[in-house]
Amino acid sequence: MAQVYIQKLFQDKQERLGLTWVAGSDGADRVLESEVVNASDKGLIGHLNLIHPNWVQVISNTELDYLRNLDPAALGEAFAQLQASGSLCLILAGVEEVPPELIAYANHSRTPLFLSPQSSVHLMWMVRHYIIKELAESTTRHGVFLDVLGVGVMITGDSGVGKSELALELITRGNGLVADDITELYRISPETLEGRCPDLLRDFLEVRGLGVLNIRTMFGETAVRRKKSLKLIVHLHRPGGGDLSKMERLPFKASFQDILGVQISTVEIPVMAGRNLAVLVEAAARNFVLQQRGINTMDEFIARHEQQMLDQSA
């Protein structure tokens, strides 16, 4: 289960957003869990809202003016609603002076209160992106993950089928390595999986006979990527008996793999002596891009074939 620790959020964004911890230090142990967020109808982050509260409540001068204009009884009721909402923290954005009533509330309710010189819109954009990534569902997959012609391609297959050698050839052709052996996948949006490399393996590619290679050192900064959205899986396999003639030549139906609820296009490439796998993988990536643009070569071929049959029968 993914979690966001308020202490870590503050530390990770302190420099970028100029955060200052004003009050509510007793709430430093607060945690936001993915299961709780998914089961709740609260927004992740937004301007102060007492009717439809957010997990992270942002207070700009507009919201501050509203609170200042409340009489003591109404202000106390607003603070009671705010406490009952169970928000993770409060962030003052672009505010020069912090009202003492808000500091007292934060200390009393153990709600972390931060101050940032950034505008509320910019702050919410940054914090929302951070929380989404931290709470993203995740899993791991075995294979080599590369940026091939701008497409995130994972090469899978049995041990010894040639995944690493293929990856090395693709890198020499100008493509980039994301991860070898183990790829961490995070669902950062309903239809997007982001692949990253574990810190221990970053920049490394293990090739039988050569050992572990540092791709960044050998080929330069442009040969590696920190992360990439997974779009295509290329599965390498050895055909039974080494006979390609028994394989389906024209796959009429597209293949997909379901990973964390996201459908990923899949292509199977048989491995045989003399086949240029690097060219085939690049062709698969180019074909994927065409399909995303609505150009399906297989459908075009079938349409031509059907039209010719109609013309001949006429």
Instruction: Report domain extents, the chain.
Output: 3-134, 137-304
**Per-residue confidence (pLDDT) for residue 252, from 0 to 100:** 61
Q: Which of helix, strand or coil describes residue 117?
A: coil
Identify the helix (H) or strand (E) that includes residue 7: helix 6-17
Is residue 123 helix, strand or coil? helix
Distance separating alpha carbons of residues 24 and 174, to the nearest angstrom: 51
Long-range contacts of residues 77-84, Cβ cutoff 8 Å, at least 24 apart: 78/50, 79/105, 79/109, 81/50, 82/48, 82/50, 82/53, 82/57, 82/109, 82/111, 83/109, 83/111
Each residue's pLDDT expressed in tens, for the chain with a length of 314 residues: 688 999 999 999 999 999 999 999 999 999 999 888 888 889 999 999 999 999 999 999 999 999 999 999 999 999 999 999 999 999 999 998 899 999 999 999 999 999 999 999 999 999 999 998 888 889 999 999 999 999 999 999 998 899 999 999 999 999 999 999 999 999 988 899 999 999 999 999 999 899 999 999 999 999 999 999 999 999 999 887 666 666 666 666 778 999 999 999 999 998 888 889 999 999 999 999 999 999 888 888 888 988 888 888 87
3-state DSSP assignment of residue 22: strand
Is the domain 3-134 a CATH 1.10.3720.10 member? no
Q: What is the pLDDT of residue 122?
A: 94
Asked whether this chain's domains 3-134 and 137-304 adopt the same fold, the reply is no
DSSP string, 259-298: ETTEEEEEEEEE--TT--HHHHHHHHHHHHHHHHTT--HH
157-181, pLDDT tens digit by residue? 998 899 999 999 999 999 999 999 9
Residue in the structure block whose two tokens are 């505008």: 119
How many whole angstroms separate alpha carbon 297 and alpha carbon 294? 10
Residue 45, both tokens: 């982050």
Distances (CA, A) of 24 to 104, 111, 115, 206: 9, 5, 12, 49
Q: Which residues are catalytic?
A: 142, 163, 181, 249
Residue 146 pairs in a beta bridge with: 153, 177
Residue 312, SS3?
Answer: helix
Q: Is the pTM of this model over 0.95?
A: no
As its CATH architecture, domain 137-304 has: 3-Layer(aba) Sandwich (3.40)
- Residue 246 pLDDT: 64
> What pLDDT does residue 267 have?
93
